[in-house]
Amino acid sequence: MREKPITRPCVRQLTPYTPGKPIEEVQREFGLTDVVKLASNENPLGPSPKAVEAICAAAAGVSLYPDNDCYQLRRALAAKLDFPPGQILLGHGSDELIHNIGLAFINPGDEVMMCTGPFSQYEFTAKLMEATPVYVPMVEFRYDTKEMARRLTPKTKVVFIGNPNNPTGTIVTRSELAELLEAITDGTILVMDEAYHEYASDRDYPDSLALVREGRRVIVLRTFSKIYGLAGLRMGYGVTTPELADALERVREPFNVSSVAQAAALASLDDGDQVSRTVALNAESKAFLYREFERLGLRYTPSQANFVWLDLGRECRPIFVELLKRGVIVRTGDIFGAPTHIRVTTGTREQNRRFVEALARVLHG
């Protein structure tokens, strides 16, 4: 007798997340000792020294459960962003906040809109909640907000926008966002995923927090993983309206943010110099990479984030493997539906030079 499947059908349709290769795996696989990782958009300067000091101090207290309310961190973020503490969201990475958006708002049969080649958590959450992902093709690696507005329906529950977008580094401008908002009805939630917002320097980059202040059904997500260099601690945060914040608080798991992560994030907020140094290095790194890509005759997409979307003009997988053999890890574009592209994180001067030298050898011998 054939057994009845015990797993939910939607779960069988999910594809587990595949992260970029860790340094240790590449070292083992190719017998290397010196490996540069430019695959996951991490901060090459690492965390603030203040954060490291706070981590060490907090380590002695890990036998106790963390503060469930994240009292100090929540209020520090509220003061920094000029919102009441009750409108601040805190999660085990912004991934958890995206997951909680699904739990709180998405019903089976709803539609969840995103661009093609989206950040995987958008699609994962939609499918897990038995909703229908709606993919809107990008135009020249930018969101097509006019087409998104056209494809809105009464079933559209959530619209996800990465701004700056991962993996392309492009943005939705102030006017484009305003136009899309005009088409969004009260039954739809707009999620602005701004993991890389500190790097954005374009004057047309929109102020999404202002939309929350206006009472629009907007959720703004941010993170301590990128600019603050705390990716290993998984610390995400966000801001939304009181109504949406209340719903998200109801589905939040207890003690979801560790005491170490809370302490490190709080200390990071107190180190503006670290942020300034990181932004300056990123600008310098992008300028260097752009010059080298032009010298190599490669097309790239100007980025408002801490990575560059590069067109190799050929299949990326073989080049990815050859770079691994030379101790350089990047992210392949095929996972985003772009088989000739790679995404490379901006690194230190030495890391950038090493990547360019390895790429030149692989492409031209």
Residue 358 near residue 328 (C-beta atoms within 8 A):
yes
- What integer is the mean pLDDT of 316-332? 97
Looking only at the bridges linking them, the beta strands covering 236-239 and 341-345 are: unpaired
pLDDT at position 18? 75
**Helix, strand or coil, per DSSP, at residue 115:** strand
* Confidence category of residue 299, pLDDT binned at 50, 70, 90: very high
- What integer is the mean pLDDT of 32-56? 96
For residue 29, pLDDT beyond 90? no
Q: What are the φ and ψ backbone dihedral angles of 281, each rounded to 5 degrees? A: -65, -40
Residue 193 near residue 119 (C-beta atoms within 8 A):
yes
pLDDT at position 21? 81
- What integer is the mean pLDDT of 106-135? 95
pLDDT at position 64? 97
Question: Does 167 sit behind a cis peptide bond, omega within 30 degrees of 0 on the bond before it?
Answer: yes
Rounded CA gap, 312 and 297, in Å? Answer: 9
* Confidence category of residue 257, pLDDT binned at 50, 70, 90: very high
Which residues, 6 or more positions from 46, have their beta carbon under 8 angstroms from its beta carbon?
A: 229
Q: 0.85 exceeded by the pTM?
A: yes
Rounded CA gap, 19 and 331, in Å? Answer: 9
pLDDT at position 48? 96
pLDDT at position 119? 86
Mutual angle of helices 316-325 and 349-364, in 10-degree steps? 120
Looking only at the bridges linking them, the beta strands covering 307-311 and 299-301 are: antiparallel
Residue of higher predicted confidence among 15 and 33: 33
pLDDT at position 201? 96
Q: How many residues does the chain have?
A: 365
Output the average pLDDT for the chain: 95
284-292, Cβ contacts within 8 angstroms, sequence gap of 24 or more: 284/349, 285/346, 285/347, 285/348, 285/349, 285/352, 286/346, 288/349, 288/352, 289/344, 289/346, 289/352, 289/356, 292/356
Q: Among candidates 262, 259, 212, 224, which has minimal Cα distance to 87?
A: 212
Domains and CATH numbers, the chain: 9-46+273-364 (3.90.1150.10), 50-268 (3.40.640.10)
* Confidence category of residue 16, pLDDT binned at 50, 70, 90: confident
